[in-house]
Amino acid sequence: MRVNVGRFRVIPLIFTLFGVCSGVTFSYSYPRGTSGDSTFSRSSRDSTAPKNQSETYSERSPFAPGTHNLSVAVGQVFLLGSLTRFENAIGPEVHYTYGVSDLFAFQSNFGYHSHSSGALSVWNLSAGLRANLAYFDSLVPFTKIGLGFYHPSFSENNATVSGLLFGMQLGTGIDLMISNSVFFGAQATYNTMFDSSKKASDESMRSLGGAFLSFMVHAGLTF
């Protein structure tokens, strides 16, 4: 029997050409990065979203550099030290944060709380530095420090006294970025009002000052 050897040589040639074409097609569809790794080695977010799309999200996200962030907070205010003679109460605050960099931001807050049916009321306006500790998915834990002005007003024993005091605050919390323009979070803040003596309505000298701790939840917008 005579066998046509040339016909059998065509089969491996066909498989070779098919392998080369498949390799070229795979390389074109999934290009490698500068490090030589294909897109399969990247995170799912990078491989599914175009680069320009992810950059746009980063620039517009809450607390990103150049963004304005305004939020309203409400929570419990716990009085400390000499102020414990008054009752704890719920109070509101307004927060404003301007993103300076990925790590740091300017932060300010304005708040008011009243205790024991108005026997003690405190207005406060503070500003300072916020540090974003990490960016874990859509969560941003942070810490803050600030200085500001406090205006406590006391009413005891038929005498009233009030005054403008200087003080300091330290706080920590966490924010959840719900979307490019909406965020939600919670924070705990320690405030101390530096002591000062003021003349009361009965002509006696009364000591102002004290400290309080607030636990608040907030919701805000980025613009």
| pLDDT tens figures, 139-163 | 999 999 999 999 999 998 889 999 9
Tell me the chain's radius of gyration from C-alpha atoms.
31
Q: Where are the domains of the chain?
A: 5-48, 60-222
Please name the fold of domain 60-222.
Porin (2.40.160)
Q: Give backbone dihedrals phi and psi of 46, rounded to 5 degrees, phi first.
A: -70, -35
Judged by DSSP in three states, 152 sits in strand
Share of the chain above pLDDT 90, in %: 64
pLDDT in tens, 6-64: 444 544 444 444 444 444 333 434 344 444 443 333 233 333 333 443 444 445 689 99
Q: Give backbone dihedrals phi and psi of 206, rounded to 5 degrees, phi first.
A: -120, 145
